[in-house]
Amino acid sequence: MKLSECRKLIRSPLTGYWYRAVRHEHWKTRPSARHTATVTTRFNSGSIDAPSYQVLYLAQDHQLALFEVSALVGKPRAPIPNPQSTWTTLNLRVILQAVSDLTNPLEQKRIGTSAQELTGKWDQYEELGQAPTHVLGAALFELPVLEGFLVPTAVPGVSGINLVVFPEKLASGSRIELRNPDTGRIERLKA
């Protein structure tokens, strides 16, 4: 990967609705991403012992949000619900100023990566060190203006796009919000 080329990625505004699935027991902390600094994910190698930056993963539709957290398993045309927990899908209104699109093959080529590398088995790197996606996530987080980036989903057999947001880096005028169905009030994501 050519991490020095990340600064040349095209950045564009992004506005629209994106989706996040949360377990029922996490309903009270739904507008927060603080916990993600201590959880190893596809683009963040944070842990309890070595906290990192916050990362919020959003999906392009409800079904993908549920596949991302394994609330649905199987094939997209015949999904099977996972009976082990109850999930709520949040419709989040996203207004961002600077997002890079890593689903674009030209942008992938610019930084020397591929869809395969972006969606590969990042979790198998635990004993080998940081996965390439962890290194990329850290490099993107360090870019001055970048608030997030688009990537293909890593769920096997499922196609779709994820929006990965750095909540701590939201610019003035950028926001992620949801309308609370119980109160009707708008709640904003808190970094």
pLDDT over 90 percentage in the chain: 61
Q: What is the pTM of this model?
A: 0.92
Decide which of 132 and 17 is more confident.
Answer: 17
pLDDT in tens, 67-126: 999 999 988 888 999 888 889 899 999 999 999 999 999 999 999 999 999 997 766 656
pLDDT in tens, 29-42: 776 788 888 888 88
Alpha-helical (H) ranges within the chain are 62-68, 105-111, 115-119, 132-142
pLDDT in tens, 148-167: 999 999 998 899 999 999 99
Query: Cβ distance 51 to 37 under 8 Å?
Result: yes
**DSSP symbols for 57-89:** EEESSHHHHHHHTTSEEEETTEEEE-TTS-EEE
Average pLDDT over residues 16-33: 84
